[in-house]
Amino acid sequence: SSFTSIGNEYIRLNFDTNGFLVTVTADGMTRIINQEFVYYEGAIGNNREFRNRSSGAYIFRPARDQVRSISLQPKLKVYRGNLVEEVHQQFNEWVSQVVRVYRQQHYAEFEWLVGPIPVDDGKGKEIVSRFNSDINSGGIFYTDSNGREMLKRRRDHRDTWKVKLLEHTAGNYYPITTKIALEDENARMAILTDRAQGGSSMGAGSLELMVHRRLLHDDAFGVDEALNETAYGEGLVARGTHYLVVGSSNKRQSPTTHAIERFTQLRKLLPVWSFFSDAKNIAYDDWR
């Protein structure tokens, strides 16, 4: 087929000829799952009254709910080997990603590299990695509470009062410390993060995580500075990793997808420490 495929006996990812992830096969089922980078434009307020604040360090306030697409055809390069298979995606000159699947691992790794975020159009941007799937999750999704309990979320809803959301997008964003997930009666998709991020499910089957922000106006909450971090005179480049776990939502199978998520989360958040020692004057046998 013209698809590009990487994976192993537990999880397999297929990319179409446009360079986007389109399906994931795991637990004997193939689900439509695509991943893309989009961005929200940051709102610019006059900061006089509470409702007219700019998006900034203390608040996420997009100018509009619609997202902008970052690329229509990322360039692909594929590397295969016995230990790992990788797809290098170049979405544009400031967004790229490496998707990799290691041998005998149950998850796929999405290592994203975002920045410097261009602001020559005078607009602040808030970059999101979005996974859209055909999993019929309705408006329900799950976000973690400091890496432990998963809290059930329902879009445009609060459990303890009748909410009227004036900020539809921001009102549906939640703090994701380690994991965001959704499921239907057959399949479950979870994304593990390597750091705390904002996240939500803005549509059925869809999960998104905010990976980087660059804003040009202070939000008048006290820091008196726009969230516009730079390095070497340009906008900061951020690099991080998302881990995608897809599987059956059947809780009777073993190991359950939940269990795979937990074990992966523990290994990725309490990773092995690497220490390097120069061995210039010690031969291998002496070292042994």
Partner 1 sequence: DPHLSFMREMMGVMQHHDAVTGTEKQAVAADYARHLEVAIRACATNTKEVLNQLTVDTAVPASVTESGARERRWTTGPKKEYAFKFETCTLLNISSCAVPEQADKFILTLYNPLARTVSEFVRVPVPDVNYEVKDFDDVTMETQFLPVPTPVQDLNFRKSSALYELVFLANSLPPLGYKSFYITKTNGNRMKPVADPVNE
Q: Which residues bind partner 1 (CB under 8 A)?
A: 2-4, 17, 19, 57-58, 76-84, 86, 88, 90, 93-94, 96, 98, 102-103, 105, 113, 115-116, 221, 223-225, 229, 231-232, 234, 237, 239, 266-267, 270-280, 282, 284, 286-288
Are 126 and 118 spatial neighbours (Cβ–Cβ below 8 Å)? no
**Closest distance of CB 216 from partner 1, Å:** 14
**Closest distance of CB 241 from partner 1, Å:** 9
- Inter-residue long-range contacts of 135-140, CB under 8 Å, 24+ positions, other chains counted: 135/31, 135/182, 135/183, 135/184, 135/187, 135/188, 135/189, 135/205, 136/184, 136/204, 136/205, 137/182, 137/183, 137/184, 137/201, 137/204, 137/205, 138/184, 138/204, 139/201, 139/204, 140/182
Shorter beta-carbon distance to partner 1: residue 24 or 87: 87
Shorter beta-carbon distance to partner 1: residue 160 or 277: 277
Shorter beta-carbon distance to partner 1: residue 148 or 164: 148
**Closest distance of CB 80 from partner 1, Å:** 6
Shorter beta-carbon distance to partner 1: residue 84 or 140: 84
**What's the start-to-end Cα distance of the chain, in Å?**
50
Paired strand residues for 13:
6, 24
Shorter beta-carbon distance to partner 1: residue 5 or 250: 5
**Closest distance of CB 187 from partner 1, Å:** 26
Shorter beta-carbon distance to partner 1: residue 35 or 206: 35
**Closest distance of CB 19 from partner 1, Å:** 8
Q: 119 to each of 9, 67, 203, 219, 240, how far by Cα in Å?
A: 43, 16, 28, 17, 22
Paired strand residues for 3:
none
**Closest distance of CB 144 from partner 1, Å:** 16
Length of the chain: 288
**Closest distance of CB 247 from partner 1, Å:** 20
Paired strand residues for 144:
150
Shorter beta-carbon distance to partner 1: residue 182 or 192: 192
Cis (ω within 30 of 0) for the bond into 271?
no
